[in-house]
Structure 1
Amino acid sequence: MSGLTDREKAFENKYAHDQDKKFRIIARRNKLLGLWASALLGKTDADAYAKEVIAADFEEAGDEDVIRKVAGDLSAAGLPQGADDVRAKLAELLPVAAEQIENS
């Protein structure tokens, strides 16, 4: 029985590690998105805006809360980038964020 318990614990630990890594990758991707958007918006404190974008991800499951925030801010500033542009940027930044997390 000890062998089965050890295997179960190993699977649980791997799952927890994978979930933590996924969370960190998404948070990094959102930070990169915030830095990109802050440059477009001409923000003087890019890190503060990036933190706002990261925090927006906790409103609901999925990416729509982040997309809504960034696209809304870009639209309010009169910039041409819309929700589809933000989605494309999220897709572009995901492998960048994953690589950064892997190498950190």
Structure 2
Amino acid sequence: MTTFDDREQAYESKFAHDTDKRFREGARAVKMVAQWAAEMMGKADEEADAYVTSLLTADFFEAGKEDVVRKLVADLGPRADEATVRAKLAEALAAAAKQIAEG
């Protein structure tokens, strides 16, 4: 293998690692926000777990988190506005990144 091939393989490995890390951070953040929303809606135990699963599933409909924000705003109704949901999601993304970085 040449140095160029080694460098290319290293970049590909880093890209794969970074992509996986972002996916795990996003999924963990959505789970945190879903648990927060379930608590606000008075869901407990199995209902809360089902809501978390439904929100994680909603996250796969389109790239980014807009699908999650729309679902949360619709589900929470007057309990939380869009700005509150976005702030909570940003907070959860930061917390998830920190948790994953710490191991």
User: Structure 1: which amino acid aligns with 2:93?
Assistant: L
- Secondary structure of the corresponding residue to residue 93 of structure 1: helix
Which residue of 36, 47, 62 maps to 2:64? Answer: 62
Percent of pairs identical after alignment? 50
CA distance in structure 2 between the aligned counterparts of 1:29 and 1:96, rounded to whole angstroms = 8
CA distance in structure 2 between the aligned counterparts of 1:80 and 1:32, rounded to whole angstroms = 17
Aligned to 2:12: 12
Aligned to 2:23: 23
Q: Deviations over 1:48-82 (max 9, x none)?
A: 2112111111111111100011110111xxx3312
Give the root-mean-square deviation of aligned CA atoms. Answer: 1.2
Q: Deviations over 1:6-53 (max 9, x none)?
A: 110001000110010001000000000000000001112322211211
Deviant stretches of 4+, over 3 Å? none
Pairing 1:74–2:73 present: no
User: Structure 2: which amino acid aligns with 1:100?
Assistant: Q
Paired residues in the alignment total: 101
**TM-score, structure 2 normalization:** 0.91
Which consecutive residues of structure 1, in runs of 5 or more, have no partner in the other structure?
none
CA distance in structure 1 between the aligned counterparts of 2:79 and 2:30, rounded to whole angstroms = 20
Pairing 1:89–2:91 present: no
**TM-score, structure 1 normalization:** 0.90
Question: Which protein, 1 or 2, shows the higher relative CO under an 8 Å CA cutoff with sep ≥ 6?
Answer: 2
User: Structure 2: which amino acid aligns with 1:87?
Assistant: R
